[in-house]
């Protein structure tokens, strides 16, 4: 059974970079449960009826394994439209289709012609200020060539509004004036990198401002949202070397792009990129850094069990620690430190299957996580199961129910 996405609100957008290794975050979406299977089959049959032979339905690359069918109320009349893209293997064309539902029957209303071989991004948001949602599609001819296209749909009509080359893009009201801006990052690594904020005005997009960025950086993660209690910003996590990365925060003040702080690169410097995100779910984006535990300051990068610390930026005070976690990516878990542990504990890894959190002054065990391969697992006295995945059972020898709640599977 094919999956059908139900999208019910404008989306914030992530951006995708041209070069380097890319760690992408999925955009924040609200997805309703799919309709009944018989309704799904009606739409699927309607789409299949108009597809030419040799057509391949496309899911957005950026979303991974998602449905090629998007149900979205474009004109905000409480009735969903369906948006589907396909690539014609015979004519080498990329085509988008907009279907409308009339009395229980889906019929094709409009067709979009795209340029590329992949549908890289597909998002829906109001970028014209009319409270309807535009179709925002990113087409790709491989990794190094991507084009962004925006379409405005009304029943019986579809109008292209904008197209540009892009690496990543985001839609958000950065200056908090009640209108969404389209902000586009375009990178030709080693040559140029620029970010431009556009506003739809008088039937077209105008560039509010443009800023040059680090052309040697690999932009691993770019998100937008509140960066303080009252300021929105664009947050870019940038890798500049094998063991060098930093985070930049941009503001749109009086329609001018500016760095939140000239010291941001220095105060956010880290060995590896860490995706910024709203870790503590307080509505404000935190910036990640990697901190070597006490005793590991002179160890190699590969052998250091870094503590990932997330900070909130303050206009005057720099960074304030909000959350600390130890991630074990290979085994698939993380342990979140209680705030009272700050600067009091370090990590000891006596072997590859056990991590212990001990006090700095006395070396006293406070908590530990032991990974036992599933096939070797046998319950033992004085051990407490924390969780399990398909490879490991995770246990601790510390009898503390509160601390066990800080363990999380990834």
Residue 304's contacts (CB-CB under 8 Å, 6 or more residues apart) are: 292, 293, 296
Q: Which helix (H) or strand (E) holds 233?
A: strand 232-241
Q: What whole-number distance in Å separates Cα of residue 319 and Cα of residue 328?
A: 25
The ranges of the chain with pLDDT < 70 are 1-39, 143-144
CA atoms within 13 A on the CB side of 356: 13
CA atoms within 13 A on the CB side of 71: 20
Domain ranges for the chain: 1-166, 329-410
CA atoms within 13 A on the CB side of 231: 18
Nearest to 332 by CA among 402, 272, 278, 394: 394
Q: What is the pLDDT of residue 13?
A: 32
pLDDT, tens digit, 9 for 90 and up, residues 375-392: 999 999 999 999 999 999
Q: What whole-number distance in Å separates Cα of residue 232 and Cα of residue 100?
A: 36
Q: What is the pLDDT of residue 217?
A: 95
Q: What is the pLDDT of residue 37?
A: 55
Query: How are strands ordered across the β-sheet holding 333-336?
Result: 287-291, 307-314, 318-328, 333-336, 407-409
Q: What is the pLDDT of residue 39?
A: 67
Distances (CA, A) of 25 to 29, 228, 390: 12, 21, 24
Q: What is the pLDDT of residue 144?
A: 66
Instruction: Note whether 273 and 245 are within 8 A (CB).
Output: yes
The 8-class DSSP code of residue 203 comes to S
Nearest to 87 by CA among 112, 124, 66: 112
Q: Quick one: how many helices (H) and strands (E) in the chain?
A: 3, 28
Q: Which helix (H) or strand (E) holds 250?
A: strand 244-253
Q: Which helix (H) or strand (E) holds 39?
A: helix 37-50
Beta bridge partners of 122: 137
pLDDT, tens digit, 9 for 90 and up, residues 203-234: 899 999 999 999 999 999 999 999 999 999 99
Q: What is the pLDDT of residue 315?
A: 80
Q: What phi, psi does 274 have (nearest 5°)?
A: -125, 125
Q: What whole-number distance in Å separates Cα of residue 263 and Cα of residue 279?
A: 23
- Secondary structure (3-state) at 161: strand
CA atoms within 13 A on the CB side of 387: 14
Q: What is the pLDDT of residue 32?
A: 39
């Amino acid at each position: 059974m094919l999956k059908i996405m139900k999208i019910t609100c404008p989306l914030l957008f992530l951006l995708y970079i041209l070069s380097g290794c890319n760690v992408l975050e999925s955009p924040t979406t609200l997805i309703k449960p799919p309709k009944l299977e018989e309704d799904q089959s009606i739409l699927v049959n309607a789409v299949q009826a108009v597809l030419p032979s040799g057509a391949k339905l496309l899911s957005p690359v950026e979303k991974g394994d998602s449905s090629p069918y998007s149900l979205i109320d474009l004109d905000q009349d409480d009735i969903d439209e369906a948006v589907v893209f396909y690539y014609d293997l015979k004519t080498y064309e990329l085509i988008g289709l907009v279907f409308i539902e009339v009395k229980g029957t889906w019929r094709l209303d409009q067709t979009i012609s795209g340029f590329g071989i992949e549908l890289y991004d597909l998002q829906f948001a109001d970028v014209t200020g009319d409270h309807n949602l535009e179709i925002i599609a990113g087409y790709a001819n491989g990794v190094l060539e991507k084009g962004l296209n925006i379409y405005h749909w009304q029943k019986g009509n579809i109008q292209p509004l904008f197209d540009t080359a892009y690496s990543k893009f985001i839609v958000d009201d950065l200056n908090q004036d009640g209108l969404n801006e389209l902000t586009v990052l375009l990178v030709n690594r080693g040559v140029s990198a620029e970010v431009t904020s556009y506003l739809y005005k008088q039937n077209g997009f105008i560039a509010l401002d443009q800023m040059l960025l680090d052309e040697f950086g690999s932009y691993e993660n770019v998100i937008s949202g509140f960066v303080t209690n009252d300021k929105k910003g664009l947050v870019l996590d940038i890798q500049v070397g094998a063991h060098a990365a930093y985070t930049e925060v941009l503001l749109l003040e009086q329609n001018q792009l500016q760095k939140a702080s000239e010291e941001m690169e220095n105060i956010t410097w880290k060995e590896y990129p860490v995706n910024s995100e709203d870790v503590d779910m307080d509505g404000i984006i935190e910036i990640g850094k990697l901190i070597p535990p006490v005793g590991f300051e002179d160890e190699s990068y590969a052998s250091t069990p870094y503590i990932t610390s997330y900070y909130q930026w303050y206009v005057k005070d720099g960074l304030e620690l909000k959350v600390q976690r130890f991630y074990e990516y290979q085994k698939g878990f993380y342990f979140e430190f209680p705030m009272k542990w700050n600067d009091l504990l370090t990590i000891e890894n006596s072997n590859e299957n056990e991590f212990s959190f001990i006090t700095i002054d006395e070396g006293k065990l406070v908590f530990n996580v032991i990974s036992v391969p599933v096939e070797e697992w046998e319950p033992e006295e004085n051990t407490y199961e924390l969780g399990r995945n398909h490879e490991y059972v995770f246990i601790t020898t510390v009898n503390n129910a509160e601390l066990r709640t800080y363990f999380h599977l990834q």
